[in-house]
Amino acid sequence: MDNLESRVALECKEAFAELQTDIHELTQELDGAGIPFLEYRTYAMRVLFPGIEDHPVLKEIEVPANVEKALTLFGQLLTKKHFLLTFIRTLEAQRSFSMRDRGNVASLIMTALQGEMEYATAVLKQLLSDLIDKNLESKNHPKLLLRRTESVAEKMLTNWFTFLLYKFLKECAGEPLFMLYCAIKQQMEKGPIDSITGEARYSLSEDKLIRQQIDYKTLTLHCVNPENENAPEVTVKTLNCDTVTQVKEKLLDAVYKGTPYSQRPKASDMDLGTNTHTHTHTQLSASLLGGNKHHLTCLLCGPEWRQGRMARIILQDEDVTTKIDNDWKRLNTLAHYQVTDGSVIALVPKQNSAYNISNSSTITKSLSRYESMLRTASSPDSLRSRTPMITPDLESGTKLWHLVKNHDHPDQREGDRGSKMVSEIYLTRLLATKGTLQKFVDDLFETIFSTAHRGSALPLAIKYMFDFLDEQADKHSISDSDVRHTWKSNCLPLRFWVNVIKNPQFVFDIHKNSITDACLSVVAQTFMDSCSTSEHKLGKDSPSNKLLYAKDIPNYKNWVERYYSDISRMSAISDQDMSAYLAEQSRLHVNQFNSMSALHEIYSYIVKYKDEILSALERDEQARRQRLRSKLEQVIDTMALAS
């Protein structure tokens, strides 16, 4: 108990010290960093079609003249409001029209109508009005409206805000969001991160918190600039427990600071070399190979080459030196290679490397020749600790690990279980991390929930949509302020902001790792809780992320209420001003997507549900007056001729 108590005290003392010093360091280092905003089209595609990089709406479509004529006619039909509404309602009535289909159709329609934003807005308002009617008729609780993406209208609403809030993101909200992302990433990387499990010493998420004592040291490395070896070396802080890939990523972050992620080399494209090679076994292997010091090959650490004035070895996550213990194989770290503080290292593109350990026949032959001699030689501790070497028969069935072995055996932790602290002790680290990041979370929330910004007015789209929801509430005699509040929260914070906070890679050209994602999820949940009108009763069994921000949420809730109140008091936007605004947005982005390709994708749903759509148009009196069925049949016949 005495032992445990002293370790707990040390843990809390460390957490408090880190909290005080890191805030200053983070603020100092993040000031003035360039923000790599994505261009409008890439940003819109990531929200509308997440995970699909090469979508058809980005490409020209080559079709016969007949098909082009048919698609042009189909495009004209889609600009007839009654046809488009009937089309969407008919699709939604089909049992085989899945949730994925709803989202896809909503995004395709918005891309096809990118140049017709005033018309798209009118259609969206009608669909939302229908959704509200349906929600109230079905006796569902009104607060459930817009809670989930169960309709085309809800996904269209997300897309509508996506199109219209890009300028606000670039001019205003993007900066605090980017600063929060950078602060989380930087704070996580100050402590160990397990490259296999994604668990970290510093975290906002209890699920991603390393619950063990990991001994580590901070190493300051000097990286030769890969763009220019004669340029000044870049100083980078790493940890001796970092894997080689983690080190490469930290080096690339430092060397290419301010360069968009997609425009810089990837860690997998680079080799990491160091001139820190002081192991005794170097001399042993050199003597075994005849002492040729100009082509020195260390049998345990891999090939060494000369470039300029420096001799270096290639470091890798896995190589012939990787340690295996029973069926566990541990990734190589800086500590494994005995890299010391102040070492000079280099990033070299793989194709330019003199050797590549994975395909070096020389090292393989040398190993087979001298392996038994090395294993039985009177070797120093540094050599003995590296055996057994990896050989092909040992590789099968091994499990990789880095810092903790708990990813395959949740009930087992590496090391002596008796020396483990109870998991709650480590929750002080959640608090320390939260305190460090507090300013960045506050800045983002305050920017989003404010109607006055430096040189940037409240986006018209927000005022316009909130007024529309108030009109709908008036129409249905809903006086409950909680219901109105919830509609607005489900409409904008839930449908747009939570998505952006959790996925900053939708807005910026960056890479988001799993620990950063876990922390952003906690922030996004806190953001949503701040928009809720219900009181969360917290106890000792409540999730840690709820407890973590329990004292902050009442303050955030006040910001949200003030924000909604300020917007409702603003003068209404005239139809003329909104039309002009939407026309300008249409003009700016009319050529972002290939409308013919979008129409071709939408038409596939006409093919699938042809009979149901034709029947619906036949039954509808207004559709009959506009002869919409015969116009659609003309499109279908023209397409059929082409095929």
Local mean pLDDT, 10-residue blocks, the chain (643 residues):
60 60 59 79 95 88 84 93 95 93 95 94 95 80 71 94 95 92 90 93 90 90 84 91 95 88 91 61 36 37 37 80 87 91 88 42 34 32 36 59 71 43 66 86 94 78 96 91 92 94 96 94 95 78 78 94 95 93 92 91 94 92 89 89 68
Indicate whether 6 and 145 sit together in one domain.
Answer: yes
Indicate whether 28 and 125 sit together in one domain.
Answer: yes
Is residue 312 in a domain?
Answer: yes
Is residue 643 in a domain?
Answer: no
pLDDT in tens, 24-44: 665 566 555 578 999 999 999
Domain finish residue from 544, 574, 591: 591
Cα–Cα distance between 75 and 64 in angstroms, integer? 16
Tell me whether strands 328-330 and 399-401 are parallel, antiparallel or unpaired: parallel
Indicate whether 493 and 564 sit together in one domain.
Answer: yes
Is residue 42 in a domain?
Answer: no
Residue 579: predicted pLDDT: 95
Q: What's the total number of domains in the chain?
A: 2
Cα–Cα distance between 471 and 445 in angstroms, integer? 27
Among 521, 487, 518, 515, residue whose Cα is nearest residue 502: 521
Domain finish residue from 568, 591, 614: 591
Is residue 602 in a domain?
Answer: no
Is residue 226 in a domain?
Answer: yes
Distance of CA 45 to the CA centre of its chain: 14
Indicate whether 505 and 584 sit together in one domain.
Answer: yes
Indicate whether 292 and 433 sit together in one domain.
Answer: no
Distance of CA 124 to the CA centre of its chain: 28
Which residue range(s) make up the domain with 18?
A: 1-34+115-182+426-591
| Residue entry with tokens 């006086």 | 479
Indicate whether 248 and 167 sit together in one domain.
Answer: no
Q: What is the CATH number of the domain that holds 575?
A: 1.10.506.10
- Contact (Cβ atoms closer than 8 angstroms) between residue 397 and residue 293: no
What are the respective helix, strand and coil percentages of the chain, to the nearest 5? Answer: 60, 10, 35
DSSP secondary structure letters along 250-298: HHHHHHTTTS-GGGS--GGGEEEEES----HHHHHHHHHTT--GGG-EE
Buried b / exposed e over 218-234, threshold 16 CB at 10 Å, is: ebebebbebeeeeeeeb
- Contact (Cβ atoms closer than 8 angstroms) between residue 202 and residue 190: yes
Domain finish residue from 591, 607, 637: 591
Indicate whether 315 and 250 sit together in one domain.
Answer: yes
Indicate whether 467 and 567 sit together in one domain.
Answer: yes
Indicate whether 515 and 554 sit together in one domain.
Answer: yes
Is residue 472 in a domain?
Answer: yes
Indicate whether 297 and 261 sit together in one domain.
Answer: yes
Q: What is the CATH number of the domain that holds 225?
A: 3.10.20.90
Is residue 21 in a domain?
Answer: yes
Indicate whether 178 and 222 sit together in one domain.
Answer: no
Is residue 412 in a domain?
Answer: no
Indicate whether 227 and 176 sit together in one domain.
Answer: no
Token pair for 124: 């969206």
